């Protein structure tokens, strides 16, 4: 599993972000993707959703989109994020086991 999020220090288009994610997924042969964006960057929501849809459709790789705040823990629940990531990991393990069988 690999996390591929926005490159905040390098501005680029939505299409460039999708392309980067697709290339990274292929290069690392990932089982799943976790895309994270901060609450304060609502303009990233469409890019994250387009990336999710494209990666799942073109590569058949499941994508989990998370939102949170890396600076202020009052804005999110770490337990809730942990639960979502653990559930996603279980989904990936089950899919991998099904492919192996």
- Rounded to whole angstroms, the Cα distance separating 50 from 57 reads 11
Q: What is the pTM of this model?
A: 0.80
Please tell me which residue, 79 or 62, carries the higher pLDDT value.
Answer: 62
Residues 85-101: pLDDT tens digits? 999 999 999 999 998 98
The full set of domain ranges for the chain reads 2-100
How many residues in total does the chain contain?
Answer: 101
Lowest mean pLDDT among 13-17, 19-23, 47-51: 13-17
Residues forming beta bridges with residue 63, ordered by sequence position: 33
pLDDT > 70 fraction of the chain, expressed in percent and rounded: 87
pLDDT for 59 equals 96
CATH of domain 2-100: 3.40.50.11900
């Amino acid at each position: 599993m690999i996390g591929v999020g926005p490159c905040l220090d390098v501005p680029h288009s939505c299409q460039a972000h999708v392309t980067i994610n697709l290339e990274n997924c292929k290069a690392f042969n990932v089982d799943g993707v976790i895309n994270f964006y901060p609450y304060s960057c609502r303009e990233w929501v469409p890019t994250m959703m387009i990336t999710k849809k494209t990666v799942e459709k073109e590569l058949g790789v499941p994508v989990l989109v998370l939102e949170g705040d890396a600076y202020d823990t009052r804005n999110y629940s770490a337990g809730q994020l942990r639960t979502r990531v653990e559930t996603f990991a279980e989904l990936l393990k089950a899919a991998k086991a099904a492919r192996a069988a």
